[in-house]
Amino acid sequence: MSKQKPPQRIFPPAKQDAKAALQHPTTPQTEDPAYRLAFQDMDFLLREDLRPVRFQLELLKPELMLDEAGIASTLVVYGSARTPAPESKSTTHMPLHVDYYEHARALAKLASTSPRDENGKRHFVVCSGGGPGIMEAANRGAVEAGAETIGLNIVLPFEQAPNAFVTPHLSFNFHYFALRKMHFLIRARAVAVFPGGFGTMDEMFELLTLMQTGKIKKLPVVLFSRRFWTRIINFEALVEEGVISATDLNLFKFADSADEAWAAIQAFYA
């Protein structure tokens, strides 16, 4: 007599349940929105009261998919969406900005050579905001190195499609800035901050504050282009005014080339 293994589960999969729920007789009761399963009722899910649930879903979806993709750590690249690619015909940007694009591209290539660990997990997977400019450069460099790459896009009032170099199954879209910022840092083991505007500075200062206050462990933060950052922000003056400590300046390093930035990241973990 053969032994029969017990089933792995006794409840049907959610997809099966959802399909079955749509196969019902047509009556006034079944046609009313109240009869829909809660997770199939978009009007219900989009209610003001359900915002905490939407927060949870937006946190959970990328987390599960990145875990399933075997991604253990990332190199996060912040920077301006307005930085042109070298082949761009734009004449509205300073020529130096094209160099920023190329250095971000080169840094991503270096990071993408990182080997998998003993469990097959991937490390320093390049992660950007998924848009144009510096974000495109980072994703592009990873692809040119033969690696997959992450894009964390966000719904904005003006259209912003993911750049063509983001790996499709690692391209995520967010409604909430706070959840997007969280996903930038959950797996981050190094962050490169290229020249950028309000958004880049917002992300940079939030990261520095989290490390300064001990909310997260310290990780290598490289500000690309000493010329740019020391011209835009007088870090020394913040110390002189007593609003930060001199030791807070150790939370980041400057770099002026991809090799220098990658060396700083490697030195941190050496």
What are the residues facing 249 on neighbouring strands?
none
Report all structural domains of the chain as residue ranges with CATH numbers, in order of start. Answer: 70-269 (3.40.50.450)
Q: Coil, strand, or helix at residue 1? A: coil
Determine the residue type at 188: A
- Express each pLDDT in 25-45 by its tens digit: 899 988 898 988 888 899 999
Q: What is the pLDDT of residues 145-203, one digit of tens each?
A: 999 999 999 998 876 789 999 999 999 999 999 999 999 999 999 999 999 999 999 99
Contact in structure between 268 and 219 (CB atoms under 8 Å): yes
Mean pLDDT across 77-84: 94
> What are φ and ψ of residue 269, in 5° steps?
-90, -10
What's the pLDDT band for 8 if we cut at 50, 70, 90?
confident
Task: With beta carbons less than 8 A apart as the criterion, state whether 106 and 220 touch.
Answer: no
Question: How large is the angle between the packed helices 258-269 and 95-111, nearest 10 degrees?
Answer: 40
Look at residue 23 in the predicted model and tell me its pLDDT: 87
Max CA separation in the chain (angstroms): 84
* pLDDT tens per residue across span 126-136: 999 999 999 99
Residue 229 amino acid letter: W
pTM for the model stands at: 0.90
Cα(165)–Cα(168) distance, integer angstroms: 9
Annotate 101-136 with b (16+ C-beta within 10 A) or e (fewer).
Answer: bebbbbbbbbbbebeeeeeeebbbbbbbbbbbbbbb
Find the distance separating the first CA and the last CA of the chain, reported in whole Å: 60
122 vs 68: CA distance, rounded Å: 11
